[in-house]
Amino acid sequence: MTELETPKLDIQSAKRICESVEANVGKVIQGKELEIRRALSCWIAGGHVLLEDVPGTGKTMLARALARSVNTHTKRIQFTPDLMPNDIIGSSVYQRDKGAFQFIPGPIFTNVLMADELNRATPRTQSALLQAMAEGLCTAENQTYTLPSIFFVIATQNPVEQHGTFPLPEAQLDRFLIRLSLGYPDFNTEKKIIVSQLINHPIDSLEPVCSEADWRGVRELMKTIEVSEGILNYAMGLVNATRQDQRLTLGCSPRATLALIRLGQAFAVMSGENFVKPDFIKKLAPSVMEHRLILSPKSRMERIRESNIVSEILARMPVPIS
């Protein structure tokens, strides 16, 4: 797949593109403005999202709405225990007319990949996504392929039903820039959702609001956003505090610090700012840090939650002025 030249955007142009995509997705995913904003910032930052939620809360619709808003390709994989790595990556098939094997790309060769119920697949199959998520590359038949520059994975797992599932290993969880939960809508929002879908689903009439080239331009601009030493020290301090906490067996890795900084830059672009504000880091920290923590056996027995630990760290960590 050849990519067109990436336009050079200024901060206000990038902000308008982000606002249009955000508003467009909001037509389908109603009442979840912060979650949409976090998912978009993750895509801008070049990361991937783990959606942990019960069925029927709009996880698949979020992926479709994002892809359609940017006028790009999306594919969906339903993960099951019998799914094999080749079902994701692709495999070589003998072509009788050519007298040779030809590699047939799998669904991973797309721009937006919906990995539905990822924890239902075996660890071997789950690991097929690792290289793609970490490096934007895919190796098959001793050949390495480059995935599109805006490659984005939205993986889901059901936190309630655990029968027949395989928990995601720490190495895989760490590859997800953020973990989100859409949750149930409130009463009035749910009523609007039901009324809007009585005849047709809003996704059916959703039109693109920007191009792939525009979106690449937004992502390129993100790299120029200023990160002050105070912001860097703040992010590092939050991450380091998890490594000192006795309630945890494992704290956040340096990848979490990088995730906080990149997401802060993405949030700045969406807000029309040329620099990362401390408030951006504080808002994003729970989504970045909680899924990277491993509680000690004692903490699990005492029913301590990762979210409580992150909240305590945020409450006691001094916020820089700039």
Q: pLDDT value at position 2?
A: 45
Q: Which residue has the higher pLDDT, 193 or 75?
A: 75
Q: pLDDT value at position 281?
A: 95
In angstroms, what CA-CA distances link 272 with 14, 47, 195?
A: 8, 20, 34
Of the candidate ranges 81-90, 95-104, 291-300, the one whose mean pLDDT is the lowest: 95-104
CB 134 within 8 A of CB 96: no
Q: What is the pLDDT of residues 204-252, one digit of tens each?
A: 888 999 999 999 999 999 999 999 999 999 999 999 999 999 999 989 9
Q: Which CATH superfamily is domain 14-220 in?
A: P-loop containing nucleotide triphosphate hydrolases (3.40.50.300)
Q: pLDDT value at position 164?
A: 60
Q: What is the pLDDT of residues 285-315, one digit of tens each?
A: 999 999 999 999 999 999 999 999 999 999 9
The mean predicted confidence, pLDDT, of the chain is: 88
Q: pLDDT value at position 278?
A: 94
Q: pLDDT value at position 246?
A: 93
Residue 118 has pLDDT above 70, yes or no: yes
Sheet with 74-78, strands from edge to edge, namely 74-78, 112-116, 152-157, 49-52, 178-180
Query: At 3, is the pLDDT very low, low, confident or very high (cuts 50, 70, 90)?
Result: low
Of 3.40.50.970, 1.10.260.40, 1.10.8.80, 1.10.10.60, which CATH number belongs to 224-316?
1.10.8.80
Q: pLDDT value at position 272?
A: 94
Residue 161 has pLDDT above 80, yes or no: no
User: Model-level pTM greater than 0.75?
Assistant: yes
Strands 100-105 and 112-116: unpaired
Residue 4 has pLDDT above 60, yes or no: no
Q: Locate the domains of the chain by residue range.
A: 14-220, 224-316
Query: At 163, is the pLDDT very low, low, confident or very high (cuts 50, 70, 90)?
Result: low
DSSP 245-303: -TTEEE---HHHHHHHHHHHHHHHHHHT-SB--HHHHHHHHHHHHGGG-EE-HHHHHTT
Going through the chain in order, the beta strands assigned E by DSSP cover 49-52, 74-78, 90-95, 100-105, 112-116, 137-140, 143-146, 152-157, 178-180, 248-250, 294-295
Q: pLDDT value at position 1?
A: 40
Question: Percent of the chain scored above 90 by pLDDT?
Answer: 47
Q: How far apart are CA 154 and CA 39, in angstroms?
A: 9
> Which among 182, 315, 174 is positioned nearest to 253, based on CA atoms?
174
Q: What is the pLDDT of residues 241-284, one digit of tens each?
A: 999 999 999 899 999 999 999 999 999 999 999 999 999 999 99
Residue 144 has pLDDT above 70, yes or no: yes
Q: pLDDT value at position 15?
A: 94
